[in-house]
Amino acid sequence: MPATPRFRNAALIYNPLSGRLRWKRQRDLDRATHLLDAYGIRIVRIPTTGAGSATALAREQVAAGRDLIIACGGDGTVNEVVNGMAGSRVPLALLPAGTGNVLAKELGLPWDIWRAAEYIPAGEVRRIALGRAGERYFICMAGVGVDANIVYRLSVKTKLSLGMLAYWIESFRQLLEYEFPLFSVRVEGQSFQAALLVVSRTKNYGGPVQLTRRADLFSDEFEVCLFQRRNRFLYLLYFLALQAGLLERFRDVRFLRTRRVEAQPGNQRIQVQVDGELAGALPMDFVIVPEALSLLVPRSGGR
């Protein structure tokens, strides 16, 4: 245990509704708070009060002089906190407590809140780039097309009751109902037609899926994945190929690296999601914002 704690005055912003087994989460938050207190890190716990509230809370806590912000929740809560911290020098730490927790998987954090808290006292602060979709920052990925439509159709009540199963159920429903309209994408001077676009900062995509396996959270580039076919039944084949590591053999699936993506709709409304939260609809540009966030990562993580 360090004689002088690196952090003394932390705010823990948590979503009291994220994930399941919420009674257990409160118990684990108590354990995590006691653990960090033993390292001299004083924690103020601040619950979110509704959709979007974590952004304002994070901004307020940065302005109040906190030396660490801890986000406890799923990818949506983390995204909101990131949008309140972007551009500041205050580090962000993570305690996973939601349904997907893509960032937690990327960092190799334990799934239990109190076990994950053990990385915070000795964690390493890394300055990283963020993605920005329109005016909304994202830390993991943006999606355009059917995956955003899944987010659009999925109710909060269903997510709370079924967890990750809700995403799988809605995914199969969208596979049967979604029309997979084409839209225009421009990357590094090249123009494409796509039915699904993923603009990623992370290898992990959702659930057990790793889609953009060359993406690097600590680089200043996106890895972009473009699906160019409208045939809904091909997407089942794509999923199986992805599990077998064979997706890149399909000529109608492209992987590109870039710092900017421009996407324009066709004649239909095309939804956009960032980190599992709706962010509007096309047209939209996706750009890298270098040196945008200080992220606390496990000492062995990063490279």
Contacts 24+ apart (CB under 8 A), 246-254: 247/211, 252/227, 252/228, 253/225, 253/226, 253/227, 253/228, 254/192, 254/224, 254/225, 254/226, 254/228
Q: Where are the domains of the chain?
A: 9-122, 138-290
pLDDT given for residue 156 in this prediction: 66
Query: What's the start-to-end Cα distance of the chain, in Å?
Result: 25
Residue 176 · residue 233 · CB < 8 Å:
no
Residue 290 pLDDT > 50: yes
Query: E-strand spans in the chain?
Result: 9-14, 42-47, 68-73, 91-96, 124-133, 136-138, 141-145, 183-187, 190-194, 196-200, 204-206, 209-210, 222-227, 253-258, 260-264, 271-274, 277-281, 284-297
Over residues 32-58, mean pLDDT: 94
Fold of 9-122: Rossmann fold (3.40.50)
Round to whole Å and give the CA distance between 67 and 44: 12
Residue 169 · residue 162 · CB < 8 Å:
yes
What does the block give as tokens for 151? 């987010």
**Residue 106, φ and ψ in degrees, nearest 5:** -60, -40
Residue 301 pLDDT > 50: no
- pLDDT category at 302 given cuts 50, 70, 90 is very low
The more confident residue out of 183 and 50 is: 183
Residue 205 pLDDT > 70: yes
CATH number of 138-290: 2.60.200.40
pLDDT tens-place string over residues 143-191 = 999 999 988 887 666 666 666 677 778 888 888 899 999 999 999 999 9
Sequence-distant (≥ 6) Cβ neighbours of residue 217 within 8 angstroms: 106, 128, 139, 201, 202
Task: Indicate the helix (H) or strand (E) that contains 115.
Answer: helix 113-116
pTM of the prediction?
0.91
pLDDT tens-place string over residues 221-246 = 999 999 999 999 999 999 899 989 99
What does the block give as tokens for 19? 């994930």
pLDDT tens-place string over residues 118-155 = 999 999 999 999 999 999 999 999 999 999 998 888 76
Scanning the structure block, which residue is given the tokens 């091909």? 234
- Average of per-residue pLDDT values in the chain: 91
The more confident residue out of 256 and 15 is: 256
- pLDDT category at 109 given cuts 50, 70, 90 is very high
Dihedral sign, CA of 159, 110, 215, 125?
positive
Neighbours of 172 (CB within 10 A): 12
Round to whole Å and give the CA distance between 178 and 181: 8
> Could you give the percent of the chain with pLDDT greater than 90?
75
